[in-house]
Structure 1
């Protein structure tokens, strides 16, 4: 009986994902989910398109996540690396700024793979700034950006060296925002996926499904509304379920009550001066599960 040998090319381009999954297996993930009424966000997107501006649904999620985690700093954190012992209590590092790790479906060397991009300073970034960061990673040429150099390097290294290099960059928890971000975000809303969960190596991982018209009750009447399933996975080593539920509830309310604060001639919240393009979103070497 013939057996298919593993394709070395495919193994190489997925090595960064495999190293990540080995590390992320230490998490203790717990999953929550809710539904978000996207009426206000969809109306804002429609109005923006009329003005020749396009916003991705994930940009609104990133916008809301930054503001929500700024209000819940205990969830914008990570468990310091190292094995537990009787003499040392677990250490949790909290971060002052919110950095999202956005999962991307891209083609590398002719094969589909998962890459991730970092978007920094979400606690006060405007929607337009976030969209510019997301747009940077669109298109097939995104994999050639310098910020993905680490992914390409991990694919070329022998497995023992690649695994050691991956572990080395994780030893200092203060470096985590520049590697994994402080919150992971993934969307499959472009496909026929209503909802899903993922553990992205951060205390909080957010996942978005597609938007569908569903029946909702308003003022005692049932009517259709665009609804999106929103998942939240939390690392139980870092926070507890009550905190995670508060984060998810706050995030849902922030999205349902969306208001970017902009007025004609007035910049939106967090926009310092006329332009902040110098704070460009940077790429990530690793990918979420």
Structure 2
């Protein structure tokens, strides 16, 4: 057995996962007909200098709109002995990225502020920039390295202290989070909860569906929505998921 110290480059993930145990998650899954999404991408590819929207950007766009229509779901619970429910004034979306720090593979978190008002092209531009830019060149990187360099007890305490402040948590972690493994043969992703609303995306796959009594083949996107049961109940979460599904299945270019 080879025992080594926990890598510094992944300490932020360790602290994040320890904090995530405070949530009370429930998971809802559905399949999204990706026909409209594929059509939108194909149309953009045929236009010169057009931003070709990726799956994460389209889900970010649709979730921003849907969550704005469900303000009760856009919040966080803090406190144990005197719990408080805080509602966020805007919809910020976070998404996970496969990055490296000092040669160690790790998770980076990109934040799209005001996802409820930005155009799909704007969101895709920001997503593309964050994907293509090394983590070491992000403005937030020096603060991340500082957190990782602290002794574990101090780093754990500091991260918990920051996340206990709703305004700061919203600024750093967003209203909702997206985790996607769609680039791999993943048929269902049940995400680790890191926000009151967390989405897990699998790989788009062709499936047989019955539409108006006929069997058709459609590309389907598996999507799991995790919600903090302390913030909203299942009926509200199901309404949110339904609106998100309808939004993605009818998505069009901004006009």
What SS does the corresponding residue of 2:204 show, helix, strand or coil?
strand
Aligned match of 1:272: none
Deviations 1:52-96 (Å, cap 9, x if unpaired)? 43221111000100000000011111002x222xxx3x2111112
**Counterparts in 2 of 1:26-65, with a 5 A limit?**
26-52=22-48, 53=50, 54-65=52-63
Deviating 4+ runs (over 6 angstroms): none
Structure 1: runs of 5+ lacking an equivalent: 263-289
**Higher alpha-carbon Rg:** 1
Distance verdict in 2 for CA 1:261–1:117, change over 3 Å: closer
Aligned match of 2:188: 195
Match of residue 74, structure 1, among 72, 88, 92: 72
What SS does the corresponding residue of 2:144 show, helix, strand or coil?
helix
Work out whether residues 112 and 126 of structure 2, in 8 Å CA contact, stay in contact via their aligned partners in 1: yes
Work out whether residues 106 and 140 of structure 1, in 8 Å CA contact, stay in contact via their aligned partners in 2: no
Aligned match of 2:151: 158
Distance in 2 between the 1:164 and 1:27 partners? 18
1 or 2, which has the higher helix percentage?
2
Match of residue 253, structure 1, among 242, 246, 249: 246
Residue 133 of structure 1 and its aligned partner are, at CA, apart by: 0.8
Aligned residue-pair number: 253
What SS does the corresponding residue of 2:237 show, helix, strand or coil?
helix
Residue 217 of structure 1 and its aligned partner are, at CA, apart by: 2.1
With normalisation by structure 2, the TM-score equals: 0.94
Deviations 1:2-50 (Å, cap 9, x if unpaired)? x3121x4x52111111111111111111111000001011001001011
Q: Does 1:116 align with 2:109?
A: yes
What SS does the corresponding residue of 2:216 show, helix, strand or coil?
strand
Q: Does 1:101 align with 2:94?
A: yes
Distance verdict in 2 for CA 1:261–1:145, change over 3 Å: closer
Structure 2: runs of 5+ lacking an equivalent: none
CA-atom RMSD in angstroms: 1.4
Work out whether residues 25 and 193 of structure 2, in 8 Å CA contact, stay in contact via their aligned partners in 1: no
Aligned match of 2:11: 15
Distance in 2 between the 1:179 and 1:140 partners? 19
**Segment drifting more, 135-144 vs 213-222:** 135-144
